[in-house]
Amino acid sequence: QQQQQQQNQDQKQDQDQKNQDKKDQEKQDQKDNKDKQDQQNQDQKGDEQKDKGDQQKDQDQSKPDQPKDDQQKGQAPRKDKISR
């Protein structure tokens, strides 16, 4: 009788452990997916940023005598970080 109970106990613990592992794995998968998603968004943002930079460069060349543009360029990236 005693032994039977012990066995059931062990089986239950095994099952619990398996369930826990499965949960952990799912959590990990979700996190990985989120990271991948973030990375893709990040890449996209990077491209947009680059385009913006190129546009700015074109503007700079067409208006070389305005130092104001240089100041804006210095501040644009910072403002972008805050809004993210």
Percent of the chain with pLDDT over 70: 69
The pLDDT-based confidence of 64 (bands split at 50, 70, 90) is low
The pLDDT-based confidence of 78 (bands split at 50, 70, 90) is low
> So what's the pLDDT on residue 3?
80
Asked if residue 36 lies in contact with residue 46, where contact means CB atoms within 8 angstroms, the answer is: no
pLDDT, average across residues 22-29? 97
- State the pTM of this model: 0.39
**SS3 of 59, please?**
helix
> So what's the pLDDT on residue 51?
85
40: number of Cβ within 10 Å: 10
Asked if residue 59 lies in contact with residue 69, where contact means CB atoms within 8 angstroms, the answer is: yes
Those residues with Cβ within 8 angstroms of residue 55's Cβ, 6 or more apart along the chain or in another chain = none
pLDDT, average across residues 18-45? 95
